[in-house]
Amino acid sequence: MYTKKVAAIVVLYMPNFDLLDRLLGSLDGEVDKVFVIDNTPTKELGDFSASWFESKGHLVTYAPLGDNVGIAKAQNIGIDLAMQEGFSHVILFDQDSAIPTGMVNVLLDAERELNQKNIRVGSVGPLFLDEKTNEYSKAIKHGFFLVKKIAVIPMDDLPVKADYLIASGSLIKISALKEIGLMREDLFIDWVDIEWGLRASKLKFEHFIIPRAIMRHSIGDEFIEVGKKKINLHSDIRNYYIVRNACYLLLSSDVDYRWRLNIFWKIPFYVVFYTFTSKQRFSAFKVLLRACVDGFTGRLGKAF
């Protein structure tokens, strides 16, 4: 069997304990160590502590940060810990994901096969099934004016190239992270995985969905159906980060110009759509206008 020393990095924020327990249980025997980085503010932790993991039988290193420092910084803290302990790979997870038995080895085998073809692999990750919409994810590749969403056939043998992968479930070599750099902490949340993936692509690294690896994952708070399309919804503050970071990256020369063209068309759609799907439309509109101003003027980091 092809094996590597893999550390899982799980980022928490006010987690559902049943879903967290499910994820950690699915990681048993899949990775060599689990670093749990907790963004939950101290006052919201309650009785949750390292003893909770011990009571469940999970062998993890638990790092409570005391405040929400953003998903990017939390991921970087976990990556730094993995680097210090000499792991060759990290695999990133959100708290509401769950993996099938053998998934990590499937990803490692796929990475090895790609490397043997002299492909510089930035990341490999599973095809994920959204538990809210019951739909499979698609591979995202940019065209000149529009983003192309390419359907992936579950359990197919061939890797599917994408411009970036969703962070949860993505397996990344430590050596690649050292060359590409870590996650941009000033983005805080949203567009973090996209920005990292596009930055890696500029350095000639490539990203692949492995259809033989299927992971369950949950996106957004809820969804609505527009025609035949299901669109995930988020809170107003989450929408702020989506719009703010989109505006910021629109002006960034580090992002491929074709992606920036796509962002240009999306920003007004985001503002209109997120306003009308909010339960407090006037308040949401003001937040989204602030997001545009902050993004275009480079005011990043934690918003409120």
Write the pLDDT tens digit of every residue in 58-105: 889 999 999 999 999 999 999 999 999 999 999 999 988 999 999 999
**CB of 37 within 8 A of CB of 7?**
no
**Count of beta carbons in the 10 Å neighbourhood of residue 144:** 8
Range 39-63 average pLDDT: 85
Span 229-241, pLDDT tens digits: 666 678 999 999 9
pLDDT at 184 over 50: yes
Range 25-53 average pLDDT: 89
CA pair distance 48, 70, nearest whole angstrom: 20
Question: Nearest CA to 98 among 13, 188, 8, 160?
Answer: 8
CA pair distance 212, 168, nearest whole angstrom: 16
**CB of 146 within 8 A of CB of 235?**
no
Contacts of 263 (CB under 8 A, 6+ apart): 246, 249, 250, 255
| % of the chain beyond a pLDDT of 90 | 72
Six-digit token string for 34? 């689990």
Six-digit token string for 244? 């703010």
CA pair distance 39, 226, nearest whole angstrom: 33
Q: What confidence tier does 225 reach under pLDDT thresholds 50, 70, 90?
A: low
pLDDT at 219: 63
pTM value is 0.93
**CB of 251 within 8 A of CB of 299?**
no
Q: What confidence tier does 16 reach under pLDDT thresholds 50, 70, 90?
A: confident
**CB of 213 within 8 A of CB of 156?**
no
Question: Nearest CA to 167 among 8, 2, 6, 4?
Answer: 8
**Count of beta carbons in the 10 Å neighbourhood of residue 249:** 20
CA pair distance 109, 155, nearest whole angstrom: 15
> End-to-end alpha-carbon separation of the chain, Å?
48
pLDDT at 2: 46
Six-digit token string for 255? 């992002």
What are all long-range contacts of 193-197, with beta carbons under 8 Å and residues at least 24 apart? 193/164, 193/165, 193/166, 193/167, 194/164, 195/245, 195/249, 195/254, 195/255, 196/164, 197/122, 197/123, 197/162, 197/163, 197/164, 197/165
Q: Residue 127 forms beta bridges with which residues?
A: 214
The CATH architecture one would assign to domain 6-217 is: Alpha-Beta Complex (3.90)
DSSP string, 18-70: HHHHHHHHHHTTTSSEEEEEE-S-HHHHTT-SHHHHHHHT--EEEEE-SS---
pLDDT at 11 over 90: yes
CA pair distance 124, 165, nearest whole angstrom: 8
* Domains of the chain by residue range: 6-217, 222-297
